[in-house]
Amino acid sequence: MDPVIEAKGLTKVYKDFWGRPRLKALDGLSLEVHPGEIFGFIGPNGSGKTTTMKLLLGLLFPSSGTARVLGRAPTDVAAKARIGFLPEESYLYRFLNADETLDFYARLFHIDRATRRKRIDELIARFGMEHARKRQIREYSKGMVRRISFAQALVNDPEIVFLDEPTSGLDPISSRDMKDLILELKARGKTVFLSSHLLADVQAICDRIGIIHEGRLKEYGPVRDILVRRDHVALTFRNLSDEAKRKVLDLAAKEGAQLVSADNTLETLEDVFLRTVQGGKRPPT
């Protein structure tokens, strides 16, 4: 299946006013995201996560390499018509209310008035904003702003949704709701490109992940493949007594225990992340 997001040797060098190289934010990054999957993109602050996302969204021009979204250049209007983007902070016009905000963004997709109204009503209901739809965004709490920001990312029913820290600033209930929504998007066949610091969330909902550090992709693949510990095996028994635990393999057959599974154990994503970016050392607490 053709990838819906494709980066090949993507490099970005930030330059100063005089055109002199200032910072190499991204160094030859290559990745692919396939249709219908949730791809988690993680990395410490300043690792190149946001730069990658901006390049894939056409907000930046690459210094070298190429990026394709839905088979087109990220700056192509036809590609943009089929994507949604939730930025890390909610960059909205604070003088508009929820209805006006969604209507404005929907108009940029050239959606006709009747469809626009219907879609806005659905999104307002989905995000539980009926009570505040006529209030200006400047009066909203952070969570409400986040929900409207998410709603604008879905206003065109996109095929790919780019989410930058979607649960940032949300309380546990809203955060849970966001995760449910991401899984709901996957269930409806959407592709999600998720950048997040919440490793447990990424581990729980992503199909594949990429870990970026110092502008380079350090780990990349299915979550399970990355988390698996090849040198550890877990055996799971039923009806195994405490005493028998000490003599697990030798006594298993003798004690009549049934071997249910024998598998490698998994690390947590947090363990893998820290090992990748800090050489296995935990940061001082």
- Cα-Cα-Cα-Cα torsion 197, 202, 204, 208, nearest 10 degrees, comes to -160
Q: Which is nearer to other proteins, 14 or 236 (CB)?
A: 14
Verify binding: residue 185, other proteins, rule CB under 8 A.
no
Residue 44 contacts other proteins per CB under 8 A = no
Q: Is 147 in the site for other proteins (CB under 8 A)?
A: no
Q: Residue 156 or residue 167: which is nearer to other proteins going by CB? A: 156
In angstroms, rounded to a whole number, what is the distance separating the alpha carbons of residues 5 and 70?
6
Judged by CB under 8 A, the residue of 1, 20, 45, 91 near other proteins is: 91
Q: How far is the CB of 52 from other proteins (least distance, A)?
A: 13
* Residue 57 lies near other proteins (rule: CB under 8 A): yes
Q: Is 35 in the site for other proteins (CB under 8 A)?
A: no
Minimum distance from CB of 160 to other proteins (Å)? 11
Two structure tokens written together for 154: 């879905």
Region near other proteins per CB under 8 A, out of 58-66, 174-182, 204-212, 271-279: 58-66
Contacts with other proteins, residue ranges (CB under 8 A):
14, 54, 57-61, 77-78, 80-83, 85, 87, 89, 91-93, 95-96, 100, 104-105, 107-112, 114-115, 118-119, 122, 126, 149, 152, 156-157, 162
